[in-house]
Amino acid sequence: MKSILVEITCPTCLWHTHKPSDTVVIPEFEPDLKQQLEQEEFYAFTCPRCGTRISFFHTCIYPDKQHHFVLLMKSEKEKKAVDHHLYADMSATKRYISDARDIAEKIHILEEGFDDRVIEILKLKVYIYLKKQQRYPNTLRYKDRDKQSETIWFSYTENDQEDVLALTWESYLQVKQRMPEEDTKKFHEINQRWALQHIKNFT
């Protein structure tokens, strides 16, 4: 079943409806749904009565054969052992995502061919550095790589102000060299929590 009806109740005015939503997004054939994921609109709904923006979440699989990865959007409590048999391509990077806010960045990272485990370690290092400077970012995301200057850039927001910070490309390579081989047999959630558990191996 590709489509489901999601029950939505506005927390502000209690307006109630059911919204059709997809449980499979194939980016090669559904660029409009891919764009919704990248713009954080796929799991969002605006109440037609009062204008409140409502977030929701449900299981959805995103297989990207061109870039050899698959995302499985699924809440923590719904993850099961059988999930690991959902996608047969053993060469594909398999990732759980339990927070819709992480989807766009994950697509961006994996489409560019990066090891997202390395990116998360570097993001945590950037976060630690900023805290030492008494900066406390609300968000911190991978931005892009500048091949000409051999740097990798991250953007962050603090008190609604956006700024950027760069690390050398060598920083990426150093962490990558120490990273274990990718386990493509199972889905893994690679986020800040994962990085916190593994940062000691890269300091």
Q: Can you tell me whether residue 23 is helix, strand or coil? A: coil
Element at 88 (helix H, strand E): none
pLDDT band at 1 (very low <50, low <70, confident <90, very high): low
Q: What is the pTM of this model?
A: 0.95
pLDDT tens readout for residues 159-186: 989 999 999 999 999 999 999 999 999 9
C-alpha–C-alpha distance, residues 18 and 10, integer Å? 11
Give residue-wise pLDDT tens across range 43-56. 999 999 999 999 99
Q: d(Cα 78, Cα 96) in Å, to the nearest integer?
A: 11
CA atoms within 13 A on the CB side of 103: 27
List the beta bridge partners of residue 159.
none
